[in-house]
Amino acid sequence: MPSIDTLLAQMTLAEKLGQLTMTAAGYAVTGPVVAGDTTQAIREGSVGNLLNLFGAEAVHAAQRLAVEESRLKIPLLLGLDVIHGYRTIFPVPLAETGIFDPQVWALTAREAAREASAEGVALTFAPMLDVARDPRWGRIVEGPGEDPYVGRCLAQAKVRGWQTARLESADALAACAKHFCAYGAVTAGREYAPVDISARTLHEVYLQPFAAAVAAGVAAVMPAFTDMDGTPMTAHVALLRDHLRGRLGFRGVIISDYHAIAELMNHGVASDLTEAAALALRAGVDVDMMSDAYRTALPEALDHGLVTMAQIDAAVRRVLELKERLGLFADPYRRGSTPERAAALSGRRALARTVAARSLVLLSNVRQTLPLAPSVRTLALLGPLADAPAQMHGPWSAAGDPSKAVSVLAGLRERLPQAHIAHAAGVALRTQPGTDALAAQQAALQLCDAADVIILCLGESATQSGEAASRAHPELPEPQRPFAEAVVARARALGKPVVVVLFSGRPLVVPWLIEQAQAVLAAWFPGSEAGHAIAEILSGERSPSGRTPVSWPRAVGQIPVFFGERPSGRPYNPRDFYTTKYLDESNDPLFAFGHGLGYGECARGNLQLTPAQLTQADTLEVRVEVHNPGERTLEETLFVFTHLPVASVTQPRLTLQGFGKITLGAGERGTLTLHVPATQLRFLGPDLEPLWRPGTLQVFVGPSAERSRLLCGSIELRAS
């Protein structure tokens, strides 16, 4: 391959702008094409990158046009949204986050990378690192939940899993951290709405996972569609050029989101495509996804002196360097040339099953309704998601075939062959005019009469979650609530327990359902192995261990409710009217961050913090003794929080500093030891620079952010 300098010197302006253009292949083939026939554009070198093309044969055919028919033979970069699996679909990211196991986070990315690269994909538009505290926002499903520390850990694990240490490997994918940044803070949880947050919150919360992704060597970053306090991220010089590239040292490629450069005109910061293209390039956006702004408008911007050839060359260089790091020049057909062995695929399905089972969160379990007793002979399996394989993947299922997902019905029938499982949907997922809803409901209700236990599968469809899926009423979608109430009423009259399996891409605000059902299992969207995983938990084959990575609201009016809130000058006091509170609702979430029940509960005690006096050169060791008094093996997850009671700026009431797991057999005791580097305990001072403040630091350890369950201790931070 000629050196990048040599290539650059040979390239025409059109060929340079082609390397800065990413077109959706499927869009070009089936819809109004961006560049005339994309095939011809690739031959001419005026499209250098594609998205949404996958399958070894199709990818190699497109690659052949570039490397054998174009003038400079520059290979294509092919990207796809491999978010939580390629064909084997793992639980949605929010669900997987709730396993709180970075090794699993890395492993599922690694396996998805193997599967996708085997079909020619070289870049994934993942990990999605948008911290989110607003369940109205549909994309909360795609990210790390409410906490920035979890976002940092997820970023490190996912970049490692996608990219490995050798990006040129045939099974490595370039990762693209998105959406930079604070997309999760959209106004009122409404998709694509403006973002207005303080600089402190931006640095303390939303930038944190991206800093970790850059430190982990992420190859690409995608700016968010949204603005930040009036400046669209796609044109944000201060955050893209000065912070991401300057302060964080990001050397990779910035790829715009879909059509986002052209949308600078909708934001009102560009009067035409030429201005939009110039703004984006000057901010540091290298690749124009689907606006066709760079190819069609940068020549005019260049003529008018809005951009320089040096800026164009710098962007082209970064794209060519990424292609070189991926090994695309060395062997453009490397990805997609070696089909995976059947054993790899079966092993991956087994992994998907385990990960799905570990992601399920048992929210409530009255009188140990679960696991199902061996004596259970007849089950009524009801609800629109009981036999709905097409919904189990959730949003962003890449090349996954939804029809191949295991439904709850299939999983239970396989796991409980001796049980009679009577099934009826009872109600449609979403209101369907013209259907005889009453007859369907009556037929379902009758199945309760002969059942020992009623299992009710409710929740969102896959399209009610993810991008462009904000919901002002993040509750059970109509018409499910009336049906659920009828089932619960019938069951109560019969004296039979109702177990709800709740599918969603967000914490649904259903306090009445939690109150009335005997057990509620949050399944999120578990992926290809949904039914098998749910059956493992319901049958008791495995104790549930998943935890919720977001606080679960009691009411929409509480949103945003999260554990990292700053203190009030009038902290809640039930005996004082004039304190922070609602007249009509508790301040606390229905379930705290980290909540999740098992089939038994561990006891925790004897918190030890070492050293008692900590300097910035030290590492805090947190030890806690754990005991499993029950008869089943339990996987316990514990969190370490801190609070700085006095500082030059107010500090969050709880700051997550670490988490860890310990698995204990029946009756076993053990000690969980976590280490927190002292530098992690610095906070951002008034100038937003890290500050070390000698004085008392409170330390809390527990199974969730619920304060009543936290062990408390304190240490002294010393100057040195």
Query: Shortest Cβ distance from residue 83 to ligand GLC (Å)?
Result: 8
Among residues 101, 147, 171, 257, the one annotated as catalytic is 257
Q: 224 or 626, CB closer to ligand GLC?
A: 224
DSSP string, 247-286: IS---SEEB--TTTTTTHHHHTS-SSHHHHHHHHHHHT--
Q: x/- string (CB under 6 A) for ligand GLC, residues 288-307?
A: --------------------
Q: x/- string (CB under 6 A) for ligand GLC, residues 466-505?
A: -x--------------------------------------
Q: Is 84 a residue that touches ligand GLC (CB under 6 A)?
A: no
Q: Is 81 an annotated catalytic residue?
A: no
Query: Shortest Cβ distance from residue 257 to ligand GLC (Å)?
Result: 5
Residue 254, both tokens: 């910035």
Query: Shortest Cβ distance from residue 125 to ligand GLC (Å)?
Result: 3
Q: x/- string (CB under 6 A) for ligand GLC, residues 15-54?
A: ------------------------------------x---
- Taking alpha carbons only, the member of 145, 151, 162, 1 closest to residue 72 is 1
Residue 149, both tokens: 């520390």
Q: Is 105 a residue that touches ligand GLC (CB under 6 A)?
A: no
Q: 62 or 312, CB closer to ligand GLC?
A: 62
Q: x/- string (CB under 6 A) for ligand GLC, residues 663-692?
A: ------------------------------
Query: What residues numbered 441-460 form the site for ligand GLC, per CB under 6 A?
Result: none
- Per the CB < 8 A criterion, the answer to whether 253 and 300 are in contact is no
Q: 253 or 488, CB closer to ligand GLC?
A: 253
Q: Is 178 a residue that touches ligand GLC (CB under 6 A)?
A: yes
- Per the CB < 8 A criterion, the answer to whether 170 and 574 are in contact is no
Query: Shortest Cβ distance from residue 150 to ligand GLC (Å)?
Result: 20
> What letter represents residue 457's amino acid?
C
- Per the CB < 8 A criterion, the answer to whether 176 and 109 are in contact is no
Walk across the sheet containing 634-643 and list its strands.
613-614, 711-717, 695-702, 634-643, 655-664
Query: Shortest Cβ distance from residue 28 to ligand GLC (Å)?
Result: 14
Other CB atoms closer than 10 Å to residue 294's CB: what's the count?
31
Among 86, 105, 125, 250, binds ligand GLC (CB under 6 A): 125
Query: Rounded distance, CA 504 to CA 524, Å?
Result: 5
DSSP string, 296-309: HHHHHHHHTTSS-H
Check residue 203 and report its DSSP letter. Answer: I
- Taking alpha carbons only, the member of 693, 677, 701 closest to residue 608 is 701
Query: Shortest Cβ distance from residue 453 to ligand GLC (Å)?
Result: 40
Residue 327, both tokens: 């090994």
Check residue 177 and report its DSSP letter. Answer: E
Which residues, listed in sequence order, are joined to residue 500 by a DSSP beta bridge?
A: 456, 520
- Per the CB < 8 A criterion, the answer to whether 479 and 431 are in contact is yes
Query: Shortest Cβ distance from residue 718 to ligand GLC (Å)?
Result: 45
- Closest residue to ligand GLC, based on beta-carbon distance: 125
The C-alpha angle with vertex 191 and arms to 185 and 192, in degrees rounded to 5, equals 80
Q: 81 or 96, CB closer to ligand GLC?
A: 81
Q: 105 or 258, CB closer to ligand GLC?
A: 258
Query: Rounded distance, CA 666 to CA 627, Å?
Result: 9
Query: Shortest Cβ distance from residue 144 to ligand GLC (Å)?
Result: 15
Which residues, listed in sequence order, are joined to residue 662 by a DSSP beta bridge?
A: 636
Query: Rounded distance, CA 74 to CA 71, Å?
Result: 8
- Residues 6 or more apart from 398 whose CB is under 8 A from it? 54, 80, 81, 82, 83, 85, 86, 87, 89, 116
Q: 15 or 257, CB closer to ligand GLC?
A: 257
Other CB atoms closer than 10 Å to residue 670's CB: what's the count?
16
Q: 141 or 502, CB closer to ligand GLC?
A: 141
- Per the CB < 8 A criterion, the answer to whether 280 and 21 are in contact is no
- Per the CB < 8 A criterion, the answer to whether 514 and 590 are in contact is yes
- Taking alpha carbons only, the member of 102, 50, 104, 25 closest to residue 527 is 104
Which residues, listed in sequence order, are joined to residue 700 by a DSSP beta bridge?
A: 641, 712
- Per the CB < 8 A criterion, the answer to whether 357 and 537 are in contact is yes
Q: Is 258 a residue that touches ligand GLC (CB under 6 A)?
A: yes
Q: 258 or 593, CB closer to ligand GLC?
A: 258
Query: What residues numbered 238-257 form the site for ligand GLC, per CB under 6 A?
Result: 257
Query: Rounded distance, CA 323 to CA 313, Å?
Result: 15
Query: Shortest Cβ distance from residue 225 to ligand GLC (Å)?
Result: 6
Q: Is 562 a residue that touches ligand GLC (CB under 6 A)?
A: no
Q: 175 or 644, CB closer to ligand GLC?
A: 175
Q: Is 168 a residue that touches ligand GLC (CB under 6 A)?
A: no
Query: Shortest Cβ distance from residue 120 to ligand GLC (Å)?
Result: 17
Query: Shortest Cβ distance from residue 396 to ligand GLC (Å)?
Result: 8
Residue 713, both tokens: 């201790």
Query: Rounded distance, CA 235 to CA 223, Å?
Result: 9
Among 56, 58, 59, 81, binds ligand GLC (CB under 6 A): 81
Query: What residues numbered 594-613 form the site for ligand GLC, per CB under 6 A?
Result: none
Q: 394 or 477, CB closer to ligand GLC?
A: 394
Q: How many residues bind ligand GLC (CB under 6 A)?
A: 7
Q: 78 or 456, CB closer to ligand GLC?
A: 78
689 phi/psi in degrees, rounded to 5: -100, 145
Catalytic residues: 257
Which residues contribute to the site for ligand GLC (CB under 6 A)?
Answer: 51, 81, 125, 178, 257-258, 467
